[in-house]
Amino acid sequence: MDLRLNRVDYIQVGVTSQKTMRLLPPLGKKATQKVAIADHDGILTCFGIKKGEAVPVFKTLPGQKIARMDLGGAAGTPQEKIFVCSGSQVRGFTKKGKQFLTFEANLTESINAMHVSGADLFVCASYIYNHYCDCKDQDYYLSGDKINDITCLSNENLTHLVPVLACQDRVLRVLQRSELAYDIEVPGPPSVLELYKDQGEEILFGTTDGKIGLVEIGELSAATKWEIDNDKKKGGILCIDNYDIIGDGVNDILVGRDDGTVEVYGFDSSNEPTLRFEHVLSESVTSIQGGCVGKESYDEVLTATYTGWVTGLTTEPQKAEAGPGDEVRMSKETQSKVEALRAELEQLQVKVLQGREQYQQTSQSSTAVSAVPVFSINDKFTLCQDDASYSLTLEVQTAIDNLLLQSDVPIDLLDVDKNSAVVSFSECDSEPNGNFLLATYRCQANTTRIELKVRSIEGQYGTLQAYITPRLQPKTCQVRQYQIKPLSLHQRTHSIDQERPMNRLSLVGQFSFAEIHSWVVFCLPEVPEKTPAGESITFYFHNTFLGTQLEATYCKGEGHFKSDNISTISILSDVLSKEATKKKINLNISYEISDDSVSHTLNMIHPKLEYQLLLARKVQLIDALKELQVHEGNADFLIPEYRNILDESANLLEEYKKQPAHLERLYGMITDLFIDKFKFKGQNVKTKVSSLLEILDNYDLNSLLDFFNEA
C-alpha cells in the first residue's frame, strides 16, 4: 500500500444509480476534465472545478429517473457526447448541454444497461438485448436470466462488434449478431463489466459477492487471465474503471463496492493484481472514474455515491505539516473558501429555523394536510456462500432512526461487525399467528446504511419483513418484504459431482412447463422468474451450509430431481405436492432412495459438528481456567492445550457469539435426516428421536452411523 490519496468532496446531486457518472475527455494533456452525473430526479448535471469550487456547465430539467449513462461520438473522435437512458428512452446531449437525440426504444420494460459505440447503440432491459445502428433495429436476443450489464468489444482483430452480456446466472454471454456465440462461467453473479484498456479483447468483471476478474474474449472461446477472491468479506462490486493513477505506465484497476469501499489495484512485476490503496466511504459507491478533475497535473479517483455525493481521492497533497511553535499560514484561496462556507452555514441555519416555525404553524392549523415525505431505499437480500447466511443491506438517502424486523418463520440473527445499531428483541407468540421474530434496531446518529445477517432453516418458508423509519418529520415508515424459500440455503452452480450416491424424486402430471417452473421458483433461490425458452431445462444447486447438491430437470408434464441429501428430496416432495394440490393438479410421485446417501450426508456433517462441539467445550472451560489463572497468579502450570485456550479466549468467545445456534441447527439437520430416511420407508420413528439426541450429546461418528442403520 504505497499510494497516498486525499479525500475532497465536490458536490451533491440526487440519489444515483449504478454507472451514471462519467468524466468527459480532457482538452489538453494534463488539463482538468468536466464531470457529467445523472440522478433519480432525471437531472443531468455537468460541472467543472475551478479553485476548488464546482462550477456548473449545464443542468437539464427534472424528469424520469435516469438509470445509466455512457459517452459516445463518431469513431476516431473524442467520445464527448453524453447519452442517458430513462424508462425505455435514450437521450443524447452535447458537452455544452444541447439535446441532439431522443430515441424511444419501445421496450415494455425500463432499460437497465446501455453501451454506445459510434453509430451503434446497445440496450438491455431485464432479459432482452437490443442492438440499434443509426436508431434502426439490428439485432435482438432473449437471455436465459436477467442481464445486469453490457459492454462491447471493437478492434482490428475482430471483424465485427462483439457484445458481451453479464447475466445473473453467473455467466457472461458473448453474442454474434442475434445469436449466442458462447458463454463464460464466472465465480459469482456478475454485476458490472468494463473494457480493459479501451481497445482490446480483455474485459474486467465484478460480481455481487465481491469478486473481480479479467477475461480475454476470442472469436470462439474465452480465457480467464486472473481472478481476485473476496477473502475479507467486503461488499459486492458496483463499478470498475481502469486508469494509471500510480503513474507507472500500467493501467491500474479502480473498484467501487456497495459497502462504500474504494480500492486501487496495481500490478506487480509478475503482472498479478495487488491492492495498493483502500478508502471507505459511508455509503455505496455507484460510479468510479480515473482522471484529472480538481487541479491540472494531479490525477485522482472520482467516485459518486448512492445519495449523490461526488467525491475525489486526489494525488494533490492537502495537509501542511507543522512542528511545535510553527505557524500554518492559510492561503487567501483557503481563507475565502472557509469564509464562504461559514456564510453558507449561517444561511442554512436560518432556513432551518424558518422551516421549523412554518411547520409548527401549519401542523396546528385545521385546514393544512400532512404530506408524507417520499424517500428512496436501496436494499439487497443475498445468500452469502461462505457462512450460509443471508445478508440484508438497507441504504436510505437520509439517516435511519430505527428498523423493525418481523418474520413468520424461525430465523437466527447473526452478529455483524460493521453494524453499530442497538438491537432489542420482543416476545412473540409464535403459535396462533405465526410470528417467530420481532427485533428492533435503533441506529446511531447519521447512519444511512445498515447491514444485517440472518440464517434460515431449510424446509421452513415464509416472509421476512423490514419496517424502515428514517429521521424525517412527519414520521413515516416503508415496508420491504423478502421471501424465505423452502430450500433457502441452496445456491446455483454450473455443475455437480455425478459420482455421489443420489436420491431421486420424479413427478408426472397434467401440468404445463410454466406451472412446474413457477413451483421451482417458489422452492429455490436464484431461478429466473421468466419461463425458460425451449422444451426442458436443467438447473444445478449446492447447499451452502452442508455442501450437498441438487439437480432439477423438468419439462411439460414431468419433473426429475436428484440429490445426495434425503431431506432436500423430502422438502421438495412436500412443497411441490402442496403447490399442485392448490392448483387441483393430480401428481404421480415416485422415489428412488439410496441408503448410501444417508451415511454420505452424515460424513459431510461430521467435520462441522466435531468443530462446533469442540468450540462449545473450549468455551465452557474458559471461565474455570481464568479462575485458576487468577488463583495461581500465572498459567504456566497448565498443559499446553489449556494455555492455548486461555490465549485464544477472546477469539473463541467471539466466534461462539457469532454462531449462536450453529450446534442446534446441525442437530436439527441430523434429526430431520433420521426422520426422512424412515418416512420414505413408511415408518414413523419420532419416538426414537430422544435416543438419537443422547448419542449426539456423546458424539461419535461410528455409533451415529450404527444407530441410523439399526433403527
* pLDDT for the residue 322: 56
Residue 292 C-alpha cell reads as 484529472
The per-residue DSSP string of 178-192 comes to TEEEEEEE-SS-EEE
The per-residue DSSP string of 290-319 comes to EE--SSTT--EEEEEETT-EEEEEESS--P
222-256: pLDDT as tens digits: 999 999 998 888 999 999 999 999 888 888 999 99
> Which CATH number is correct for 377-484, 1.20.1260, 3.30.70, 1.10.1740, 2.60.40?
2.60.40
Taking phi over 0 as left and psi of -120 to 50 as alpha, with beta for the rest, 297 belongs to left
Name the strand (E) or helix (H) holding 273.
strand 273-280
The 8-class DSSP code of residue 247 comes to -
Percent above pLDDT 70 for the chain: 96
d(CA 706, CA 684): 18
Residue indicated by cell numbers 479462575: 627
Q: Where are the chain's structural domains? A: 14-237, 377-484, 490-593, 596-710
Residue 100 C-alpha cell reads as 441532439
Amino acid at the residue 337: K
Name the strand (E) or helix (H) holding 569.
helix 566-582
Residues in CB range of 657: below 8 A, 6 or more apart: 415
d(CA 439, CA 413): 9
- 490-593: CATH topology: Double Stranded RNA Binding Domain (3.30.160)
| Domain 14-237 homologous superfamily, CATH | YVTN repeat-like/Quinoprotein amine dehydrogenase (2.130.10.10)
Amino acid at the residue 606: H
Q: Where are the beta strands (DSSP E) in 387-495?
A: 389-396, 400-407, 411-414, 422-425, 437-442, 449-456, 462-470, 478-484, 490-493
Return the number of other C-beta atoms located less than 10 Å from residue 530's C-beta.
16
646-681: pLDDT as tens digits: 788 888 888 777 666 788 888 999 999 999 998 888
3-class state of residue 514 by DSSP? helix
Which parts of the chain sit beneath pLDDT 50? none
Residue 391 and residue 382 in contact, taking contact as beta carbons nearer than 8 Å: yes
* pLDDT for the residue 687: 87
Taking phi over 0 as left and psi of -120 to 50 as alpha, with beta for the rest, 20 belongs to alpha
What are φ and ψ of residue 262, in 5° steps?
-115, 130
pTM as predicted = 0.88
Closest by CA to 601, choosing from 574, 563, 573, 570, is 563
Residue 39 and residue 16 in contact, taking contact as beta carbons nearer than 8 Å: yes
Closest by CA to 298, choosing from 319, 308, 313, 279, is 313
494-519: pLDDT as tens digits: 999 999 999 999 999 999 999 999 99
